[in-house]
Amino acid sequence: MRSIDSFIQVLNEELLINKSLLEISIKKKDLIINNNAKELSSLMIKEQNYVKRIIELEKLRAGLTLNIQKELGIEKIDNIKEVIKGIDKEKSVEVDSIANELRSVLKELDHNNSLNNKLLDITLEYLDLNINLLTSRAEPKIYGKSANEQKNKGNNFFDTKY
C-alpha cells in the first residue's frame, strides 16, 4: 500500500512546515512589539511561501486520501481515524502520532496568530490616533462672537472616529 506511505510523508512535511510557521509567529510577535516593520515584512514573505507549500500538500493529501479510500474499500473518509482503522498497527500508530502533534502545533499556531492580530490592531489604532492628533488643526478663536454663532469646524483636539 504505497498510498499510505506517501500520505505519511505528506503529513510529516505538513508538520515540519507548520512548526516553521509557529516559529515565525513567535518572531512576528516580537517584531510587532518592537515596531520593526522591515523585518516583519521579510518574515511575512517567508510565511507566504510556507502557506503556498501547505496548499500544495493539502491538494496532494486529498488525492492520496482518495487512493487510500479505494484501497481500503471505504465509501468515504471523513477524518484520519477512518484511515487509521484500515491500516496495519505500525503505520496506524505513526499516522496517529503525526496527526496528534500536527493538531497541537496548529492549535498553538492559531493562538499565536490571534495574539499577533490583536497586537497589530492595537498598533494600527495607536498609529491612527497619532495621525489624527498630528493632522488636526485647531482654528483660532475669534473674539466678539457669541458661542451660538461660532462654528465648530474640527477644532476639537481629539477629533477622531473613536
Per-residue HEC secondary structure of the chain comes to CHHHHHHHHHHHHHHHHHHHHHHHHHHHHHHHHCCCHHHHHHHHHHHHHHHHHHHHHHHHHHHHHHHHHHHHCCCCCCCHHHHHHHCCHHHHHHHHHHHHHHHHHHHHHHHHHHHHHHHHHHHHHHHHHHHHHHHCCCCCCCCCCCCCCCCCCCCCCCCCCC
Give me the pLDDT at residue 73, please: 83
Burial readout 35-45 (b: 16 or more C-beta within 10 A, e: otherwise): eeeeebeebee
Give me the pLDDT at residue 143, please: 62
Give me the pLDDT at residue 160, please: 54
Backbone angles phi, psi at 156, to 5 degrees: -75, 140
CB 71 within 8 A of CB 3: yes
pLDDT per residue, tens digit, the chain (162 aa), is 588 899 999 999 999 999 999 999 999 999 988 888 899 999 999 999 999 999 999 999 999 988 888 888 888 888 888 778 778 889 989 999 999 999 999 999 999 999 999 998 888 888 888 888 888 765 555 665 555 555 554 555 555 554
Give me the pLDDT at residue 137, please: 63
Tally Cβ neighbours within 10 Å of residue 59.
11
Give me the pLDDT at residue 1, please: 56
